Amino acid sequence: MRPTRGFVAVTALAALALLPPPAGAQVESTDPIRLTLHDWTGQLITTRIMGEVLKAAGYNVEYVQADYLAQFAGLKSGDLHVAMEIWETTGRQAMDEAVATGLVENLGETGMVAIEEWWYPLYMKEQCPGLPDWRALNDCAELFATPETYPKGRYLGGPVTWGGYDEERVEALGLDFEVVHAGTDAALFAELESAYQRRAPIILWVYTPHWAPIKYEGEWIEFPPYEPACYEDPSWGVNPDLAYDCGKPRGPIWKVAWAGLKDKWPGAYRAIKAFRVTNEEMGEMIARVDLEGESVEAVVADWMAKNEDRWRAWIGQ
Amino acid sequence: MASAALPRAHAVGRSYAAPAAVAAAFALSLAFLALPRGTVPAWLLRVPREWVPPLRRWLSAFMDWLVGSASFGLFTFKDLTRAFSALMDWPLWLAKSLLVTGFQLGEGSAAVALTAPVSWLAVILLLTLFAYRLGGRGLAILVFLCFAYLALFGQWESAMVTLSSIVIAVPFGVAGGLALGIWAYRSPRFERALTPLLDVMQTTPVFAYLVPILFLFGFGPVAAMIATIIYAMPPMVRVTILALKQVPEEIKEFGRMVGCSRRQFMWRVLVPTARPALMVGVNQVIMLSLNMVIIASMIGAGGLGYDVLASLRRLDIGAGLEAGLAITLLAIALDRMSQAAAGRSERRRGRQGGASGFDGVMAAALLFALATLWLGLRYPWLARYPEALEISTAPFWDALVRWINVNFFDQLEAFKTTLLVYVLVPVKRFLLAQPWPWVLLLLTLAALRLGGVRLALVVLGFGLFVAFSGFWTKAMITVYLCGLAVIIAALLGIPLGIACGLNARLWRVVEAVIDTLQTLPSFVYLIPVVMLFRVGDFSAMIAVILYAIAPAIRYAAHGVRRVPAHLIEAGRASGCTPRQILLRIRLPLALPEILLGINQTIMLALSMLVITALVGTRDLGQEVYIALTKADVGYGLVAGLSVAAIAMIADRLIGAWAERLRRRFGLQA
């Protein structure tokens, strides 16, 4: 359907149609590579960087707004081509399912590592001086309680779909807390914003790279550090009878693509595989957009100018 | 809810047997709640897993087959849908090129602009002139203000993306609805087959069938449009059937006498006569299409829906509100224009001819619009509304929410806790304590009494589906959340509606408010609600009530207003006080309408489940959402169909009840 459209445009506007061919003719195919945009800033930045790099290599790039989970249908059918941020923690199941069909390929890590843990605003430390050690949580459980959970504390977890084993963690570590799930990221941080405005007690699931730990001052709870054995072997850790008596694993953020990418645009495929950024740069760029109000495009252009050597290497120049 | 031993009770009139039976059933239900834990065997509280048929697997397998290998020999089913999608892509591409991108050669980043889009100035000018033509000065001012808002508040480009898919989706929805409605009018058998399908289309959460649609129609605006049409078309079909049936017999008789062919009879007699009623359907298609803007933006439609989602993820409440309001204003402008267009074609039959001088102005404006396609390339301020002239009230809204949050949180918290402890939690526990065979028994008996054996069988069938879907507990949580929301919406909405029915000025104000509530994406007010009331059932319920209260008000007002004047006159003549006229004449006669309003309230409440899942409820909507994350089509469809089954049980029971009331008061169906 796409070529016909071009044809129509030509015939309908014949007077204007004789224009030079698009630049960058040396790439394998000038069909647009479709990258998906989601609704959080970090992902927009990652994707725009990748897109700009591909453009510099002469590829034709198109950005498509797509839902994080619904996009897998498009990636499988080849309607969409690249998704730059699939988080180990929130997208693993959908990604594995898609990769298992053979229609989608995992292009490796982005270099960013997702940290997810229980988190509290810094002002809570005055009222509960034992923090951030997890053993202090039970002393302050009533502080974090609400009428629905009293006398237990209320811990606001992520959406059910994110997993995270918080119920199991509460049980295994004997915490006097009740886990309440937010349905979305937006709801989660709406509660944090509300509590922060009132300097009210709150403890919740926060992750990074994200604007929240930059905007709000706070700390992660220090649980016994994660080891694979903790999740698999009940005898590991402080509770000899139960697994999950430790913190959360730190998971990579993955890049995935339509399986046909490799054959249609081999150069782009290599470039996307080579893409790497760090948590620190990403955090700084997210803060500039979300907190200082700069545009995503400007921040990306700035990064491109400062890191020319790095991205030139990705596209083999 | 009478027992089967009293089948004739309603024929005799008022009897104390029925209330007694209801009271007895309620007492027994309470007893289940009071029983110590473990007395009722677990298999009575939820159908054991081994008994659940593997419907999910079958549905998944069927969908895999349909998407993957279903074939007609020469081409596959997917080829067919993809071809259809390519066809649909055409008008969409044209609209988008005109309004958003300008015509381009090539695509993606390699595209070369041949023209600019039609200038915002020209669009506003043309639409204002057009509105003046359709509905005079008042409408012209309204349309001008709505579109000026879009430009002024920096929403123009997104709004045009949304508009270009709406102006394509709405005609398809209207034409498809009209065609199906006419067919159903001609063939009662088709109507019987269609009715449950319409219910399923309206009540199954979109997320349940989103993934198959994406496969079949491709990821992008076309798939979004198809999902929009599926959701927005059913009211048009229903309204068409009803409107055609209501054409007076004399007019039909006349049409037959002058010897119309079947086609002439339909298009020259029935459809024109039914036009005012049909316009109600058009209104609903427009409103519901704009309702889908948020979900459509999740699958590549972009536009205002995306802006709403993205700003709320940044917790930029003001920006979310401004984008959401743009959707509402778009809906209002389109709706009022379509209403005026319908009214005008009525009037035009009376007096022919128009202002020919005005045609000249229109033509000049059109030429100007075309000229901006090229002028826009030279003068960027024509193509894009200059950013420097944009304004925003976003900081004000953020500050307002913050102020309420900081100063009134404790009062709100106390209010919430009271409601939670004394209403929400007891109702939830009560419902979850009921054994499923007992619930099904009560529902079947109620159906038997209200509508007879047929209805009882239908209700029992739907009930068994829910019980054996494996989602019984989630279904009861759904019933609890939506049921309470509907009751509260009815308690608030019906008295307000009655007041509106008696007072036209009040109605004008209330109508504007409920139109806004219905088209403003619920996500916009959901986030402030979460900030004030925290994540949980209470926040979800507030969102459901805000959205679902509209029909309760609308239908009650409508019902009170259309009580025949001669009956009120008769009441006045026999010396009734105004209070008696209201309580003894207006209300009883408006009761069937009020019940229909409640019916619609239930439907809307159930359709909000998808949204409430986003604030962490644990009902069927959440299951559908989980299925989406696990890419499990069958799981999502079964959960989605369970929602539809609950909706249909409520709909059938209330419909039968309304029918009985009508008969009792000697009103026409």
pLDDT greater than 90 at residue B669: no
Contact list, B114 vs chain A (CB under 8 Å):
9, 13, 16-17, 19
The distance of Cα A188 from the centroid of its chain, to the nearest Å, equals: 15
pLDDT greater than 90 at residue B110: no
* pLDDT tens digits along B505-538: 999 899 888 888 888 888 888 888 888 888 888 9
Q: What is the pLDDT of residue B347?
A: 61
Residues A214 and A132 in one domain: yes
CB-CB neighbours of B214 under 10 Å: 29
Q: Distance (Å) from the C-alpha of residue A153 to the closest C-alpha of chain B? A: 14
Domain final residue pick, A232, A263, A292: A232
pLDDT greater than 90 at residue B103: no
Q: Note the pTM of the prediction, 2 decimals.
A: 0.82
pLDDT greater than 50 at residue B3: no
Cα distances (Å, whole numbers) of residue B44 to A32, A239, B38, B436: 57, 36, 11, 6
* Most confident listed range (A301-310, B51-60, B659-668): A301-310
* pLDDT tens digits along B189-224: 999 999 888 888 888 888 888 888 888 888 888 888
What is the spatial distance between Cα A289 and Cα A43, in angstroms, rounded to a whole number? Answer: 12
Complex ipTM: 0.76
CB-CB neighbours of B187 under 10 Å: 12
Say if A283 falls within a structural domain: yes
Residues 6+ positions from B254 with CB-CB distance below 8 Å: B269
Nearest to A94 among B114, B310, B629 (CB): B629
Say if A122 falls within a structural domain: yes
Contact map slice: B 586-615 vs A, CB within 8 A: 612-615
For every one of its 317 residues, what pLDDT tens digit does chain A have, with 9 covering 90 and above?
344 544 444 444 443 333 433 444 477 888 899 999 887 888 999 999 999 999 999 999 999 888 888 888 889 989 899 999 998 877 887 888 899 999 999 999 999 988 889 999 999 999 998 889 999 999 889 899 887 787 889 999 988 777 778 888 999 999 999 898 887 788 888 899 999 999 999 999 998 888 888 889 999 999 999 888 888 888 888 888 888 899 888 889 999 999 999 999 999 999 999 999 998 899 889 888 887 878 899 999 999 999 999 999 998 87
Say if A221 falls within a structural domain: yes
Amino acid letter for position A2: R
Q: Which of B86, B85, B114 is nearest to B101 (CA)?
A: B114
Contact list, A97 vs chain B (CB under 8 Å):
630-631
CA-nearest residue of chain B to A159?
Answer: B616
B564 or B320: which leads in pLDDT: B320
Half-sphere exposure of B178 (CA within 13 A, CB side): 18
Contact A19 B112 (CB under 8 A): yes
Say if A225 falls within a structural domain: yes
Q: What is the pLDDT of residue B664?
A: 80
Q: Which of B250, B220, B208 is nearest to B627 (CA)?
A: B208
Contact list, A194 vs chain B (CB under 8 Å):
405, 409, 530-532, 534
CATH (domain of A217): 3.40.190.100
Residues A34 and A71 in one domain: yes
A96 touches B at CB < 8 Å: no
- Mean pLDDT, chain B, whole residue set: 85
Nearest to A39 among B310, B526, B535 (CB): B310
B314 touches A at CB < 8 Å: yes
Q: Quote the tokens at residue B186.
A: 């001609």
A39 touches B at CB < 8 Å: yes
CB-CB neighbours of A25 under 10 Å: 9
Q: B265: which DSSP letter?
A: I
Residues A61 and A134 in one domain: no
Contact map slice: B 619-658 vs A, CB within 8 A: 622, 625-626, 628-631
B310 touches A at CB < 8 Å: yes
pLDDT greater than 60 at residue B353: no
- Superfamily name with CATH number, domain B47-99+161-295: MetI-like (1.10.3720.10)
Q: What is the pLDDT of residue A24?
A: 42
Q: B349: which DSSP letter?
A: T
Contact B413 A181 (CB under 8 A): no
Nearest to A180 among B107, B301, B536 (CB): B536
Residues A139 and A163 in one domain: yes
Domain final residue pick, A232, A267, A300: A232
Q: Quote the tokens at residue B662.
A: 């009508």
Exposed e or buried b per residue across B252-281, where buried means at least 16 C-beta atoms within 10 angstroms of its C-beta: beebeeeebeeeebbeebbbebbeebbbbb
Contact map slice: B 155-214 vs A, CB within 8 A: 210-211, 214
CB-CB neighbours of A78 under 10 Å: 17
Residues A266 and A296 in one domain: yes
Contact A60 B106 (CB under 8 A): yes
Mean pLDDT of B171-184: 93
A177-181 and A33-37 beta bridge pairing: unpaired
SS3 content of chain A, % helix, strand, coil (to 5): 45, 20, 35
Judge contact between B203 and B607, C-beta under 8 A: yes
Residues 6+ positions from B365 with CB-CB distance below 8 Å: B122, B125, B126, B129
Q: Which CATH number fits domain B413-669: 3.40.50.1000, 3.40.640.10, 1.10.3720.10, 1.20.1250.20?
A: 1.10.3720.10
Left, alpha or beta for B155 (phi > 0: left; psi -120 to 50: alpha)?
Answer: alpha
Amino acid letter for position B180: L
Inter-chain contacts counted by CB atoms under 8 A, chains A and B: 193
Say if A18 falls within a structural domain: no
Residues A125 and A226 in one domain: yes
Contact A77 B219 (CB under 8 A): yes
User: What is the number of residues in chain A?
Assistant: 317
Contact list, B79 vs chain A (CB under 8 Å):
none
- Could you state, in order of their start, the residue ranges of all structural domains in chain B? 47-99+161-295, 413-669
Interface test mutation site (partner B, options A184, A192, A286, max chain B beta carbons within 10 A):
A184
Judge contact between A163 and A96, C-beta under 8 A: no
Residues A68 and A172 in one domain: no
CB-CB neighbours of B512 under 10 Å: 11
Say if A9 falls within a structural domain: no
Domains B47-99+161-295 and B413-669 share a fold: yes
Contact A6 B105 (CB under 8 A): yes
The 3-state secondary structure of B543-579, one letter per residue: HHHHHHHHHHHHHHHHHHHCCCHHHHHHHHHCCCCHH
Residues A216 and A264 in one domain: no
What is the spatial distance between Cα A15 and Cα A8, in angstroms, rounded to a whole number? Answer: 13
Instruction: Give the domain extent around A215.
Output: 114-232
CATH (domain of A81): 3.40.190.10
Nearest to B534 among A9, A67, A191 (CB): A191
Nearest to B108 among A60, A69, A80 (CB): A60
Q: Distance (Å) from the C-alpha of residue A236 to the closest C-alpha of chain B? A: 30
Q: Quote the tokens at residue B427.
A: 């109702």
| Counted domains in chain A | 2
Residues A103 and A68 in one domain: yes
**What pairs with residue B525 in β-bridges?**
none
* Most confident listed range (A46-55, B77-86, B369-378, B403-412): A46-55
Amino acid letter for position B363: A
Q: Which of B241, B102, B71, B216 is nearest to B164 (CA)?
A: B102
B381 touches A at CB < 8 Å: no
Say if A49 falls within a structural domain: yes
Contact map slice: A 43-72 vs B, CB within 8 A: 51, 55, 60-62, 64-67, 69-72
Exposed e or buried b per residue across B112-128, where buried means at least 16 C-beta atoms within 10 angstroms of its C-beta: ebbbbbbbbbbbbbbbb
Q: What is the pLDDT of residue B113?
A: 81
Q: Quote the tokens at residue B532.
A: 């004030």
Q: What is the pLDDT of residue B377?
A: 83
B312 or A266: which leads in pLDDT: A266
| pLDDT > 90: percent of chain B | 24
Contact map slice: A 185-224 vs B, CB within 8 A: 185-191, 193-194, 197-198, 200, 211
Residues A134 and A64 in one domain: no
Nearest to B105 among A9, A62, A211 (CB): A9
Q: What is the pLDDT of residue A15?
A: 37
CA-nearest residue of chain A to B610?
Answer: A183
